[in-house]
Chains A and B, each alone.
Chain A
Amino acid sequence: MSRTTVASEYSAEIQSTPIEHRFNPYSDNGGTVLGIAGKDFAVLAGDTRHVTGYNINSRYEPRVFDVGDNIVMTANGFAADGKALIDRFKNQIKWYKFNNGGKKLEMQSAARYIQQLLYGKRFFPYYVSTLIAGLDEEGRGAVYSYDPVGSYEREQCRAGGAAASLIMPFLDNQVNFKNQFIPGTDGKEKRPFEYLSLQEVIELVKDAFNSAAERHIHVGDGLEILIVTKDGVRTEYSPLKRD
């Protein structure tokens, strides 16, 4: 008997393999995101292009959001899952406040909670790379990154989405000074880590996105950078290549 099954009404279907589901619940909506933590600030940036396949659906569809409590968030990949995750998290912040007398949700708590949301769908995952950025309890910049099922880590910087593999090595080199050595030491002494200023970070983000837009078709149109400092969240927009 054939192994493939159709929904025929006239055979012993029950013994055969389950019907093949032709419906694919996932898609990829492109775009790329990037978070960098500074000494007393953090940024989360994303391009504003929204795609399916070779179609550009929109040239301006924000993908980084201020979710409240001085935390910014993005969930890049399958846009419907990203929206669902962020909506759920926003709602949870609201309930956290109701239940705890208006207490601010700290970064580490937010980070753990998002893991719970992601792992809760371990067997039907949110198909997204999630990043959050903000300030920790000491006021230092913090970025947390996740895999689709909730494995997470605090990092100095992280790129996610379509052009993550293009941007991440650049960040390793420019933010964490990987493979950089003190001149004259013959490659023996590593350049020590030091925080970049906000101005330097913003320039770095722009360079990263301009380069990604140059090489990746799912990246472009516009760049939106959300900057978190102790004074709150502000947004900077700049155009990217539209081709």
Chain B
Amino acid sequence: MTAIGTGYDLSNSVFSPDGRNFQVEYAMKAVENGGTSIGIKCKDGIVLAVEKIINSKLLVPGTNRRIQTIDRHVGVAYSGLLPDGRRLVNIGRDEAQNYKDNYKVPISVPFLVDTIGNYVQNYTCYNSVRPFGIVGIIGGVDDNGPHLYMIEPSGTFWGYTGAATGKGRQTAKSELEKLNYEELTVHEAIKIAAKIIHQAHEDNKDKDYELEITWISKEHTNGRHELVPESLMKEAIKYAQEEDEEDEDEEMES
């Protein structure tokens, strides 16, 4: 980035002469160093997973949840400045609640993401604020089936079949590209998610991590965003590590 010293990177809401908002780009930097988050859209639901970096051995295992719920049918995984993510989730919750108060039915995922996108965009327009330092992967199941979106500090959001962000995003993306999303089921995706996070962790190897996976599926969770049950989780971790060993074996042979 060549903005340093030009002054165009010091304030939000100011374009550089070549049409960039450097504060937004710096916000992306905050994301690129965070733990990896991924989302997978399957034919029967959504799977979200994060690589939870263990900053201290004193943290209680299995607590300090990272993936949050916006409404019963919508979950979010995000990488970057975690408090910014929590703020974003609160905005989403207010919006979802307000929608339900007004229209009785749960908010549709595209509409929710659109609202959040507008909100995030607003934080790129004023010099009194800074953009959100996160990329959020928002997944949900509504009347139109599963939806998966990824939203960036600029307020941009795109729909995805497989989404990844954070430090290990490149590794994760190349793995996600191999999947057949037409046929993929949530059960398969849970294992794959575990494996991808495991592989993506290679990019962040100096720190320990804990795996967190949630899912949303009409058939299996009654359309609710829930933590994946322990049995499936064990199976997934086992699968991720088996694959790992195989890879190593292959490497040894070759």
Task: Verify whether A and B have any Cβ pair under 8 Å.
Answer: no
Binding site for B on A (CB under 8 A): none
